[in-house]
Structure 1
Amino acid sequence: MPEGPHTAQLVSPQASGASGREMPAAPAPNGDSAVMAGLAQPHRWTFSQRLAVVYGAVSLVILLCAGAFTWWQASLLAERNEELAIAETRRMADRIGSALAQARQGVSVLAMRDPMAQGRDSCESLLNSAHLTMDAIVRHLFVVGADHRVNCSTLPSAAGITSTSSVISIAELTGRPVTGVLGQSRVGLGQVISVAHPMRREGRPDGVVAAAVSVDELRNLTAPHLPDIAGLRVWLFDSGEASASLVGDDEPMPAPPAALHASFISPERPDTGTATEKGTVFIQARATDDLTLIATIPEQALRAGAPLEVALPPLLLALVLLGGMGALFWSVQRFVVVPLEAATRRLEAPDGALPAGDAEDAASDVADLIRRLGATRATRDEAIRLRDMLLREAHHRIKNHLALVASFLRLQERQLSDHAALQALRAAQGRMMAIAMTYELLHDGPGSLVALDQMLERFARALAARDMAEGNAAQVQADLEPLEVPADIAVKIALVVNELATNALKYAFIGRAPGTVRIILRRKGAGGFTLQVADDGAGMPAEPRRGLGMTVVDSLVRGIDARIERQPGPGTSFLITWQPRPEPPRR
């Protein structure tokens, strides 16, 4: 056969017979048309795929929540660590300030006693005695005369040396005790802090008592109380920008950032400041008027505990939740979804057989369960239909029985001559008629609701006919809006209307022309109503005598949680208001 496109041709039978050839077969559809047919059908996700998507989404939410919680807790932990570092620096500064204050107090006591009053030997003895009672941070005591020469000292080699300390000059000029700045000792004591108090003799300045506080001893004083923070460095910093290392290697202090000074003088945290620069946290705390402590901590050290103390617990909890949910989803997939899908395919199969590879016992059990559920549903529908039929039959029989009893009462009327007994029988007939009409409507309509407007319409016609049969000409008018109420409410409303309308027809028009009795029904709120029974007769006295009828009315109204009130004339009018009880909230 030659290559190229093939075209099917219609060949008549004659031509086919003549040529002796068979008609060529139609070409089979190519693969592209099958693919297009498959693409035309919308993709439907299986329940297993949806379950996997839900599991993935829930897992993602759990991981995101765990990450957000970890980040939040890590931030709180870092803030807490920073606050702890600030508090420790503050306590260290207070400890140094307290030690310097005690040294200044001891010097002030010596200055008040005038150590040089009894000569140099007595002065040295006094200084040595006082030195023994002071803290170890006070290395030596000195008495400097008005000529700035050391008159006596606990360090014998210092006697006669001329002091050039600015602290001595400031104490003499101000006449007040001074805690000085950092300085280098001229007598081999290393870096010291000078504390001085001026002496006065006969009201005139007469030298200064001074103490040299050793920076090394201050370092020993703070060492036992250092917080366990990796990379912590602390320097003592004075107003002249001189510094001395208290914690860490004896290295120059790095230049503090400008933000540290701004934070230090801010009123938010008095005498304490913090700033961060290039991964280092700077903390400054005041020790005295001229001395402050500056601590540096690597920023990473404040956050080092976050991954272990914060991240691990929520991540472990998230993994446990994911594992538990995975096991739950796998169980649902294995023991519920797969059997149900197999059962569905079995039910959809023409002969009820499972396709190859789906013949599982669990699927068979589920398929049988589905069939039984279908049979149970059909049985339930049949039971509901049978119940409704029996209820309608019961309502019909009750109505017939009430009509039969009413007929017996009418027959009994003919044999009575007592007017009171006759009225009692007629009242009983009216009540039975009201109940019978309710059951008649229940028989005619579906469900347990009664069309109250239809019942009152029939009742109005029956009252008018009965009144006419008794030789009266009063009219009974009904103005009713459509409304359905439960059967028990309808029965009691019918009895109430019977009592009120019967009383109106009986007593409202005595001694006057026949009037009209009106029955008005209006909707109110969700399922409620107002019902008015009124006449244009003579009306009731201000304090009417309560008979059996009104007693029955009050009892029936209370039984349905309604409210009845008498309205002003002309005539007599009663208004009944009823609202359904609110349903309790479902749990």
Structure 2
Amino acid sequence: MRTPLAALGLALAFFLVVISIGGLFVWQGYRDTLNRGEQRAAAAAETIAAHFQWIVEASRQALGRIDDTIGFRPELLSSAELGDMDDAVAGLPDNVVVRVFDRSGREILSTAPSEEEVTIGDRNYFQALRDGESFVISRLLVDRATNRQSFVIGRRLVRDGEFAGIAALIVPSDLIADFWVSLNLGSGSAASIVGDDGWLVTRFPSLESSIDLSNHILFTRYLPEAPFGSYRSEASPADGTSRLVGYHRVAGAPLIALAAVSTDAVLADYRSRMLGIGIGAIPILLGLAGFAGWVFRLLVHDSRRREELEDALAQNRLLLREVHHRVKNNLQTVTSLIRLQPLPPDSKRDLAGRIGAMAAVHEQIYRSDRLEAIKLDHYIRNIADGVRSSFDGSSELRFDMQPVELDPERAMVVGLLVTEVVSNSLKHAFPGGAKGTITIRLDAEGDDVRLAIRDDGVGFGEPRERSGLGMRLIDSFVRQLEGEQRLKGEGGLDFEVRFPLANPVASTFKA
């Protein structure tokens, strides 16, 4: 079941990657949407700041003209001067009211007279002008003459070096509503003007009263870093709504313009798009899931079939090993029967050696985990030791063999070849029981195998006739191996055969 589990793991990993990419896409889209909302708010704040810069500058000029119109003694003004003051504020919005107050804060002239006497001596903006400020913009307040929310732009009037009163422009708070409508910021948005001291000057939608923002992050964090920018407010200090806020200082005035876009309104279109994408992606994901399930079922079926085949193969291997074991036992039985026969000792030994070479192949296959290859160096060592033990054992065998693996059929031929050559050497190389050494070398050279058998016996002067049984067998074995042989007898036997390593099996075995 490893393959299905691996495939299932791969499928899960694929889905996780798809989900991760989708999540990254959603998150990036979310961030991009918020960034665009902040950019929109920042641009709107810059527009509001530009408009209020014009209003403040126009108000300064209008108040200067009013101061000139009033003349030397403001308290001596009469209604005749009202026409001149109307001309002075002609460039300002129509709903701006001009009022003049004496040094005590009592209204002495207005372009929109009230039936009741209006006094402002307790107002903060009046006190600031009385105490020496030359120009003041008030916080949001309720006009005592009209009972409407407004803010005041005031100028200190000085005569003979002394405070003589103030000239004030009463600006309705709903003036900023026109800007809000023109900016088309959407539902839940807001436009505001805040003074440098943190107090709200005007806002749309309006509030019941001014609020102090001096401890808000706008003043504690963002304004100290830059005179304009944007940020996200999780909860507005005015109404608790989450908004994207753009801010911009008003040039030449102690004011900050704010434009705030509702976060929900900004994300509404994004959520709609994501919902559409999600609805479109569901069939695709379901299709992929169904396809993955179908593939998984196929893999499970294939894995079960593979396991059945592996079990059958293991059973066949076990049976084949048992066959090799039985063949080996039968060959040993044949060897025992040969030894009981009334044959010459040399014939018995030769037959037993040849049968032993065949039995050794079956023995090695039986004891090995691999049926398709024989470790030729181990096999040759066992064969040679067996042949030597069948003689008097006085001669020494030396081995210099590299690891080589060969298929069982060809290995058996090599074993028979080694049996014949070593037997021949033990018979003839050391007459009279002399001791000697037989050296067997085995190595692989490219695609060929080289087997060399040498002894330090008496050798032979000329090549022996190849009509003997042993030589005929050697020639036959070399032909079966499709090899080439070399045989010399000077100074001892020197036999070498080269044959191709047909169907080589990679070996990691170390001798």
Shorter-chain TM-score bucket reads 0.3 to 0.5
TM-score under structure 1 normalisation?
A: 0.40
- With normalisation by structure 2, the TM-score equals 0.45
